[in-house]
Amino acid sequence: MLVGAALGVAGASFQGLFRNPLADPYLMGSAAGAAFAVALLASLLGGLAPAFAQHAIFQSLPLSATLFGFFGALLATLVTLVLAGGAARTGELVLAGVVVGSVLTGATTYLMLQDADRVRAVFAYTLGNLAFLGWPGVKALLLFFLVAFPPLLLLGRVLNALQLGEEVARSMGLPLEGLKLLLLLAASLLVAAAVAQAGIIGFVGLITPHLLRRLLGEDYRLLLPASALGGAVLLTLADLLARTLTRPAELPVGVVTTLLGGPFFLYLMWRRRGRA
């Protein structure tokens, strides 16, 4: 539930910050950036093999791994924006995010495959898997969620103002550049916390805000807390499917969210093209 809540809020924040309905931690490469940074830290510390042997990466890595992942997520997001030429260019943003995410996922896989005896655990992590989480991981997630979520809630008014355009937001007397940076930092920290614990779980941050907008409208003061609850419910249901569809085996939950989110993403692209 905490992983889903973090991804749901991060997705809603990215969409509001960049005024782009397709902005998502998975599609923008930030989740892949966080995964690469966490894997790199584990490799540098010589803790990669023990981490996967225990099926709980935070039992052998310090809490600072999430902060390392935070910088990875932030850097990947900025690279995606530069390559796309700005957040408003939807097609270029998605393409740049896919390229950045693919490169970083490949680099992460290379680092992890240095521990070839645990290939299954490695790929389960890169596909997104809640089986890695233990109580130490839950505590770490809760800590970072409580750090990042309240500032985003307080900035709901700023996200509402941004939907009217940056000039309108500035006319309201808002210190826009500083507030946008704070939004990006808080959302990236949520992505890093979720990825460090559960790997790359796609499309939760895309699906949840879109569905809730139909019910609640565009007010981010309501949409952000609703996205936390909606993301928690969505990922819990996806995990239930992952545990039951192929019993007694268990699918990585990231596979289920991708199967759900892929068609939803194509529908959004088709609808946007129809409007154009």
Taking the C-alpha atoms of residue 223 and residue 14, their distance in angstroms, rounded to an integer, is 12
pLDDT digits (tens, 9 = 90+) for 125-153: 778 888 777 787 888 899 999 999 999 99
Per-chain mean pLDDT for the chain: 85
**What H or E segment, with its residue span, contains residue 185?**
helix 176-198
Asked if pLDDT for residue 264 goes beyond 60, the answer is yes
So what's the pLDDT on residue 276? 55
Count of positions (residues) in the chain: 276
Average pLDDT over every residue of 41-52: 64
- pLDDT band for position 113 (50/70/90)? confident
Report, as an integer, the average pLDDT of 48-52.
54
pLDDT given for residue 65 in this prediction: 77
Mean pLDDT of 227-231: 97
State the helix-helix crossing angle for 2-18 and 135-154, rounded to 10 degrees: 30
Whether the predicted pLDDT of 37 surpasses 80:
yes
CB atoms within 10 A of CB 90: 18
Evaluate if residue 31 carries a pLDDT over 70.
Answer: yes
Per-residue pLDDT tens over the stretch 146-187: 999 999 999 999 999 998 888 888 888 888 889 989 999 999
Band (55; pLDDT cuts 50, 70, 90): very low
Question: Which range has the top average pLDDT, 161-165, 224-228, 263-267?
Answer: 224-228
Q: What is residue 24's predicted lDDT score, i.e. its pLDDT?
A: 87
Predicted local distance difference test score (pLDDT) of residue 145: 96
Q: From residue 58, how far is each of 48, 55, 65, 138, 268 by CA, in Å?
A: 11, 9, 8, 10, 36
Q: Give the pLDDT band (50/70/90) at residue 49.
A: low
Examine the pLDDT at 47 and tell me if it is beyond 80.
no
159 class by beta-carbon count within 10 Å (0-12 exposed, 13-18 middle, 19+ buried) = buried
Using the Cα atoms of residue 89, residue 94, residue 186 and residue 157 in order, give the sign of their dihedral.
Answer: positive
Instruction: pLDDT band for 58, please (50, 70, 90 cuts).
Output: very low
At 186-201, the pLDDT tens digits run: 999 999 999 988 888 9
